[in-house]
Every structure is written in C-alpha cells, then in structure tokens.
Amino acid sequence: LRHLVVVLGDQLDLDAAAFDGFDAAVDAVWMAEVAGESTRITSGQPRTALFLSAMRHFAQALRAAGRPLHYRQLDDADNTHTLASELQASLAALKPEAIVLTAPGDWQVWQSIKAVAKAAEVPVDVRDDRHFYATVREFAAHAQGRKQLRLEYWYRELRQRHGVLMQRSPDGTMSKLPVGDQWNFDADNRAAFGRDGPGLLPAPMRFAPDDITLEVIRVVREHFPTHPGDLDAFDWPVTRAEALRALSDFIDHRLPLFGQFQDAIWPGEPWLYHSRLAAAMNLKLLNPREVVNAAEAAFHSGHAPLPAVEGFIRQILGWREYVRGIYWTQMPAYAERNALEAHADLPAFYWTGDTPMACLKDAIGQTLKLGYAHHIQRLMVTGLYALLLGVKPQQVHEWYLGVYVDAVEWVELPNVLGMSQFADGGLMASKPYAASGAYIARQSPLCNQCRFKPTQSTGDAACPFTVLYWDFVARHEDLLARNPRTVMQVRNLARKSEADRAEVAEKAQALREGRWPAPDKAT
Ligand code: FAD
C-alpha cells in the first residue's frame, strides 16, 4: 500500500485535500467508528448518531467513487475503541508507505495520530484543510502584533480578500468598499417577536432516518444507553445531497428574516429563522463557500435584504473562521484557561432540564431533545447562567461539546471558553457577556411563564439571573470598572444599598449551593 488516507468523522468531503492524487490502484481510505470518541468527553446520543450516520453514508459514497476503504464499525467484535489503537493495528496490518490526511480539527486527535505514526515509523503527509477560507497561518499573520483580536477586523479582511459582498465597478473590478456602504447591520438585527409571537413559521425541511440511520440509532442506544439526549426526533441531513437540500430550503424560506430575528427566543420554536446548517458544515458535507455564495446570490437577486444576508455571512465568513484561528493558534493552553477563577460545579439540572427557571428549562429541554439551540439561547441563557454562577469553564465546555449535534472542539471551545465564559480574559470577546434577567425578558416571553421576576434581585420573586448578575458585577468590580464597555455596570451597582448588596450576596451563595431564592415552593 502506498498511502493510507485517514478520514476522520468530521472530514466527510470527497474533494478534501487528502484525496489529491489518490490512486485506487495503490492507495486506500481508512475510517473508524470508536466508542472512545463518544466517551472521552461524554457525547450525547443525537451527536453520536449524527456522526456515525454521516460516516456510514460517506463510506457508501467512497465505495461508489471506487476508492478502496478500510472501515471499522462500532459494533465490530474486535473493535478496540480508540482511534489510536485502531490506527496502530491498521498500520501494522496494511504497512502503508505513508499516512495522508487533511489537517484534523481537534488538537487532541491530531496529537494522537502523530504519536501513533511516529511509533510505527510511518511518515505523515498532513495537508491544509481548504474547506476554510483562511489557513491558520493567515490567521496567525493577522493576529501577530495585535494587542487584542477582534472579529470585525478579521471579517473585513476576509471579505476584501475573497470579494464577498463588496462593491464592484461596471467592469467588474472590486473596490475596497462594502456593498451598501456599511460593514455591519447588527443594529437592524436585534428584533424580538411582539406580543403575538412569530406567527406561522416556515418549518425547516426534515430528513427522516433511512435504514442506515435507523441502524445507527439502534447501535447508539445499545452502546451509550446512559448518554444524554433523545433520538426520537432525529431528522438531520446526513449526506451531502441532503445537506444541499437543507441549504436551499434555508435560503428560500428563512434567510430573508434571518437577520431581523437572529437574537429572538420563542418557547417551543427551536428553529425560528436559523439555518440549521452548522452540523452539515462542520462535518464538511457542505462547504462554507457554497453557503456564503448562495446567501450573497439571494441578496443580488432581490430575494433577501442586505441586513439579513450580511448578518448571516458574518457568522460564517466572520465568526466561524475567527474561532478556528483562535483555537489553532492558542491550543493547548487555551483549554485550561480560567481568567475569572470560576470554580463552581455545573448544576445537575443542565443534564435534565429540571429547574424552576422557565428560560433554562426551555433551552435545556430543547437541547436534550434535539441536540440544538440557537446562538442566543447558547450564549444568553445556558452560557450566561454558568458565567454568572461562576462554573468552572472546563465543565461548561464538556457540556456544550456533548449536547449539540454541531459540536466539534475547534468551534465549540472558543465560543464557550472565550465568548461565553470570558475564561480567556478577553482574547476573543471585548467584554464578559454578563446580563440580568431583563435581557431574557426583552428577547422572549419566557419570563411571563416564570415564577421569578427578571427585574428583581431581592425579595421572594428575585430572578436567579438578576441576583447572580449583581453578584457577578460585585465579584468582578475591578475588572469591569477598567473596561469602558462595562464601567456603567459598576456605577449602577454603586447605587444599590448595602442591605440590597448583602441580600444579593446571600442569595447568590444559596444558588451556588443549589438552593432557590424563594422559600422553596416545589417546581
Ligand atoms: P445559524 O444561526 O443559522 O448561523 C449560521 C451559521 O453561522 C452556523 O451554521 C455556523 O456555522 C455559523 N456560526 C454562527 N455563529 C457562530 C459562532 N459564534 N462561531 C462559529 N460559527 C458560527 N457552533 C458550532 O458550529 N458548533 C458548536 O459547538 C458551537 N458551540 C457554541 C457554544 C456557545 C456557548 C455559543 C455561544 C455558540 C456556539 N456555536 C457553535 C455557534 C452558534 O451558536 C451555532 O453555530 C449555531 O447556533 C448553529 O445553529 P445554526 O446552524 O442554525 O446557525
């Protein structure tokens, strides 16, 4: 065997760099399903099922393309259940001249492949992942010499470099100016649904499980019976063809209102105008260029307004590339950071949804049922509560990595540790996203269904978010006072009476000990 082309579970792209020069006469592909990847950090059932189903469908596509394949199934009797041990055994049996692979997305996985190859004395030809617009080297060059990293500068650079939503002269020459003379339409993109709610929403296309997925669901239930999450509602795209249909469905039906309602929450409506495309992109079933190009074309054809299209493209060309750059330039130290010195345990209700707080119950319940919550639920409900409570960032990270179907470490870790928990001390985000229950009340009607009052930080109906918010401001007064974007929070705290501050501290402590602020009425 000349090359053993290693394809990881999130590298399901027939055109990946690892296949350049592939010759079926002398090369073969290697893929392995191993329990270790679901137990190293507990992976929820929906997430594991999505990975395995997409891998098995990709194996079919490889065979159809005539590429010889060595594929390990989770239920193979002699499966040793770690990537390292499986690869080691295959290297010994197949004796390839070299391993070829596209740069892995996960730091730990990459270390383990390198170690196995070294021990077996097999050279590794690792190739750039051209799925992304930018290489890690380009990001590192951008970051070099900057005191602070900010999404906005990186995003503008990529828009100019790749000609996305840029003005052009009649002869097609690109200018340095953005379409609409504005880089950012965030101010247009913060609407909540009014009192009457979102009305009739365009339901996203569903992908009912086929025989392969049904078999995977059975295997996942059998192997990981205690892992969180529900498989009854599984309907994710698991092939490239399905992912392309999901993309068209989003562009046609939800993109036009994506921007406006990007930050809104409505109970019982998990999808709203979101794309549901993160998992398909992260598994590489979809290329971000085709997603961005489809959105830009929808603007040029008049189908979708600029604020919606810019807001959507910013997430992919901007945030997605930005967090990848942060991950790969900062690992492995990044994973250990804990700038706010947060040491509390993640409350047990994150694994059950069993809490009297309506917003958390809704977001966690939906997460466990579907493996999905949209950005504002992740950032400003589940993430916010952990930040305010002072949960150890590594525990928060493990929860997020397990429960979302789109979770892969290079994107999940910076979002959790950096953006949501401020554990990197401001490398990624310009301020801690600390807010009181009033924020949730503005974005959703959930507070109307809750026994706690978002405006209150004292008294029996005090909202845990609001209590913990003031406690957070008090605990991090010095840090927040130094930042012009948060100094007002400290000034507002100074207006509170000593008695109120003492009550807040006491209630916050009770919450950290798992006791609710009101004299406990059962949930
Ligand atoms: P949409 O709302 O339709 O957005 C479009 C696309 O933009 C997404 O599919 C995604 O590819 C990209 N995107 C949006 N926001 C971000 C972001 N902040 N960083 C990177 N890409 C972004 N995204 C993941 O893909 N995997 C994760 O594990 C993940 N964990 C997160 C954890 C926290 C605490 C937070 C705050 C955000 C996280 N995100 C993660 C980002 C974002 O919340 C999800 O990408 C999004 O909710 C997925 O749903 P969607 O496909 O419907 O996205």
For the stretch 433-459, pLDDT in tens is 999 999 999 999 999 999 999 999 999
Q: Are 387 and 420 in contact (CB under 8 A)?
A: yes
Instruction: Assign residue 84 the CATH number of its domain.
Output: 3.40.50.620
296 CA → ligand 1 middle, Å: 19
367 CA → ligand 1 middle, Å: 14
How many helices (DSSP H) and strands (DSSP E) are in the chain? 23, 7
Task: Characterize 61-73 residue by residue with b for buried, 16 or more Cβ atoms within 10 angstroms of its Cβ, and e for exposed.
Answer: ebeeeebbbebbb
Residue whose CA lies nearest to ligand 1 atom number 20: 320
Are 11 and 118 members of one domain? yes
Are 303 and 167 members of one domain? yes
Measured torsion, CA atoms of residues 82, 87, 88, 94, in degrees rounded to the nearest 10: 150
User: What is the residue range of 192's domain?
Assistant: 136-204+254-330
Are 383 and 467 members of one domain? yes
Query: Mean pLDDT, to the nearest integer, of 124-142?
Result: 97
Are 287 and 153 members of one domain? yes
**Nearest-angstrom CA–CA distance, 35 and 83:** 9
Query: Mean pLDDT, to the nearest integer, of 484-509?
Result: 96
278 CA → ligand 1 middle, Å: 6
Range of lowest pLDDT (2-16, 185-199, 203-217, 252-266): 185-199
Q: What is the mean pLDDT of the chain?
A: 96
Are 23 and 145 members of one domain? no
Last residue of a domain, one of 64, 99, 127: 127
375 CA → ligand 1 middle, Å: 6
Mutate to test the pocket of ligand 1, among 411, 417, 420, 422 (most ligand atoms within 8 A of CB): 411
Share of the chain above pLDDT 90, in %: 93
97 CA → ligand 1 middle, Å: 39
- Provide the β-strand partners of residue 458: none
Query: Mean pLDDT, to the nearest integer, of 75-79?
Result: 93
Are 367 and 489 members of one domain? yes
Q: Is the pLDDT of residue 335 over 90?
A: yes
Q: Is the pLDDT of residue 522 over 70?
A: no
Quick check: helix, strand or coil at residue 272?
Answer: coil
Asked if the structure places residue 104 within a domain, the reply is: yes
**Nearest-angstrom CA–CA distance, 454 and 442:** 10
Which of ligand 1's atoms lies nearest the C-alpha of 420? 34
Last residue of a domain, one of 127, 151, 179: 127
Helix, strand, coil percentages (3-state) for the chain, rounded to 5, are 50, 5, 45
Q: Are 413 and 393 in contact (CB under 8 A)?
A: no
Query: Mean pLDDT, to the nearest integer, of 165-169?
Result: 94
The predicted pLDDT at position 106 comes to: 97
* Count of domains observed in the chain: 3
**Nearest-angstrom CA–CA distance, 378 and 357:** 15
The predicted pLDDT at position 518 comes to: 58
The predicted pLDDT at position 161 comes to: 96
Rounded to 5 degrees, φ, ψ at 436 are -95, 180
**Nearest-angstrom CA–CA distance, 418 and 429:** 7
Mutate to test the pocket of ligand 1, among 205, 290, 310, 320 (most ligand atoms within 8 A of CB): 320
Which of ligand 1's atoms lies nearest the C-alpha of 277? 51
Which of ligand 1's atoms lies nearest the C-alpha of 273? 3
Asked if the structure places residue 244 within a domain, the reply is: no
Are 316 and 356 members of one domain? no
Are 159 and 72 members of one domain? no
Query: Mean pLDDT, to the nearest integer, of 107-119?
Result: 98
The predicted pLDDT at position 410 comes to: 98
99 CA → ligand 1 middle, Å: 32
Pocket of ligand 1 (CB under 6 A): 274-278, 281-282, 312, 315-316, 319-320, 323, 374-375, 378-379, 383, 400, 404, 406-407, 411-412, 415-416, 419-420
Residues contacting residue 519 through CB under 8 Å, at least 6 positions apart: 460
**Nearest-angstrom CA–CA distance, 216 and 222:** 10
The predicted pLDDT at position 211 comes to: 98
The predicted pLDDT at position 355 comes to: 95
Range of lowest pLDDT (64-78, 176-190, 340-354, 443-457): 176-190
Q: Is the pLDDT of residue 258 over 70?
A: yes
Q: Is the pLDDT of residue 523 over 80?
A: no
- DSSP label of 344: B
**Nearest-angstrom CA–CA distance, 368 and 365:** 5
Residue whose CA lies nearest to ligand 1 atom number 52: 276
Residues contacting residue 393 through CB under 8 Å, at least 6 positions apart: 337, 338, 342, 416, 417, 421, 423
- Provide the β-strand partners of residue 391: 344
Token reading at 414: 């910076």
Amino acid identity, residue 354? Answer: D
The predicted pLDDT at position 519 comes to: 52
Cis peptide bond prior to 209, omega within 30° of 0: no
The predicted pLDDT at position 390 comes to: 98
The number of residues making up the chain comes to 523
Q: Is the pLDDT of residue 46 over 50?
A: yes
The predicted pLDDT at position 148 comes to: 82
Strands 166-168 and 174-178: antiparallel
